[in-house]
Structure 1
Amino acid sequence: MAAYEGMWAAFVAAGTTANWQDPALAAHATGLALSTLTRGLYADAYNGLVTRGEPILDPVVSSVEPEDEPTTVVVADCGDDSDWLKYTADGQLADDVPGGRREINAIVERQADGAWKVSDFGVHGVGTC
């Protein structure tokens, strides 16, 4: 859970300046998850957008593999991004699309060095949970 929550905290922090190169992202995410985060932040930086606020998370462990000595944990969440929105550089709300509660699924894996990192995640549409 620490890796999952740490990934979102790092993404929130990096989003305030659209810093797609923030090293804190790689401390909690790897593979597809890291690529998704950095690409999103790069697009925001390119388009002059930043995020303000933060999502409300409610994660739970939905499964572990193998059960005796887990190396993979699946996290299920119903995150609320109603107060985590994109803004232009001059402080204007970037669009009129409201946030809301979204289903989030994530795979967290133990790395070769023993660290746990999110390797993949999916965020579904508003109203999916």
Structure 2
Amino acid sequence: MAYDPTNIFAKILKGEMPCHKVYEDETALVMMDIFPQAKGHTLIIPKAASRNLLDADPAALSAVIPLVQRVANAVKTVTNADGIRLAQFNEAPAGQTVFHLHFHVIPAYEGQALGAHASGRGDDAELATLAAEVAAKL
């Protein structure tokens, strides 16, 4: 399937839709997931247009992975998580719901189950606070 430039993440990257921005550079946008599976669930969205990992430019991938690592460390520190789950879905049968490459950084806590993917909308005030705290650690 071809990349659809009207997907929600493409619109956010163009400034056509709002987000709780954590960080942005020439390679990617980092924002809070508005349907968090855990407190601090963060998304890294490469700016290069691709549906997912399967059609991504390897150069774009190599440019964004160090940022994924930095974000994971910052989120772990801010949330005092016991671990970090890194998720990246490729096509609908694998769970992908937005067809623009993105990486999920999801804090994990001992004895606490993760929420379901895209189930409940987060509180905007809490997401804005978390975005600022994670940004300060980057």
- TM-score normalised by the chain length of structure 2: 0.25
**Higher strand content, 1 or 2:** 1
More helix by share: 2
Task: Compute the TM-score of the two structures, normalised by the length of structure 1.
Answer: 0.26
Q: Which structure is higher in RCO with an 8 Å CA cutoff and minimum separation 6?
A: 2
Which one has a bigger Cα radius of gyration? Answer: 1
